[in-house]
A and B are shown apart, each in its own frame.
Chain A
Amino acid sequence: GAGVSQSPSNKVTEKGKDVELRCDPISGHTALYWYRQSLGQGLEFLIYFQGNSAPDKSGLPSDRFSAERTGGSVSTLTIQRTQQEDSAVYLCASSLVLRQGGWNTEAFFGQGTRLTVV
C-alpha cells in the first residue's frame, strides 16, 4: 500500500476485555515496529519484527501483551484483560532493512490506534 495502515483508528473497550490492533505495513518493508504513546509522554518501544520473527520483545510491558506477524506483512498486537493504564495511542511503523547488521533508513509510521479502556 501507499503507507502504513492501522485499524481500528479508535477503540473503546471495557476493562478486562481483550483487544486486537492491526498494522498493515508498506509493501516490501521487512521491519515492523510497535510503539506506544501515552498522554503527555514520548514514544515507548514495544516490539520489533524482522520478517515474521521478533528478535526484540524487550518493550512489551507485561505478559498480557503479545504480537504476531504473518507472511512478513500484517501484524497484530493483542492486549489481553485490558487495564485502564493500557489506554494510549498504539503506533506501528515499518522500514526497509538495507543490510544485515546495520541500517540507517527511516521508519514510516501509521496514524495509530487510540485505545481507551473504560
Chain B
Amino acid sequence: GNSVTQMEGPVTLSEEAFLTINCTYTATGYPSLFWYVQYPGEGLQLLLKATKADDKGSNKGFEATYRKETTSFHLEKGSVQVSDSAVYFCALSDGGSARQLTFGSGTQLTVLP
C-alpha cells in the first residue's frame, strides 16, 4: 500500500534560518506529491505540488523536487519567517483505485524571532 514517511518534529528554527523537512514515500504507479500546511487555528491549505518526476513545486519561497530515484519530496526554504510557523504535511495521490490522499504524520515548525 501507499505510505508517506515524514521527518519527526517538532522543529524549532530562528528567523532567516534554512529549513528542510524530509519526506519519502512508497507508492504503486506514478503518484502526485503534495505539501499541505496548517496554520494555527486554520484548515489545511495546499502549499505546493509536483505531478511527475523531476518536477519542482514552489510557493511562498518554499520548494520541493519530486525525486523518483530516491522516492523523496523534501520541503525546503532558504530563509524562514515567524509567519511560517505551522504544521506541514507531506502527501501523495497515486491516481489509482485508492483515489485518496495519503498523508504523512505532519511536522510542527516553530520559527522564533
Q: Show the binding face of A for B, using Cβ within 8 Å.
A: 4, 31, 33, 35, 41-43, 45, 48, 50, 55-56, 91, 93, 97, 101-104, 106-112
Contact = CB atoms under 8 A, between A and B. Distances in A.
A69 B44 CA distance: 22
A71 B13 CA distance: 47
A109 B100 contact: no
Interface in B6-63: 6, 32, 34, 36, 42-46, 49, 51
Contacts of A41: 105-106
B101 interface: yes
B85 interface: no
B99 A106 contact: no
A65 to B, nearest CB: 16
B103 interface: yes
B95 to A, nearest CB: 4
A106 B89 CA distance: 13
A102 B96 contact: yes
B99 A50 contact: yes
Contact of B101 (A4, A33, A101, A111): A33
Contact of B32 (A43, A56, A104, A111): A104
Nearest to B52: A104
B58 to A, nearest CB: 15
B34 A106 contact: yes
B95 A102 contact: yes
A43 B88 CA distance: 12
A103 B101 contact: no
A42 B46 contact: no
A104 B103 CA distance: 15
B105 A42 contact: yes
Contact of B99 (A43, A56, A93, A111): A56
Nearest to B106: A42
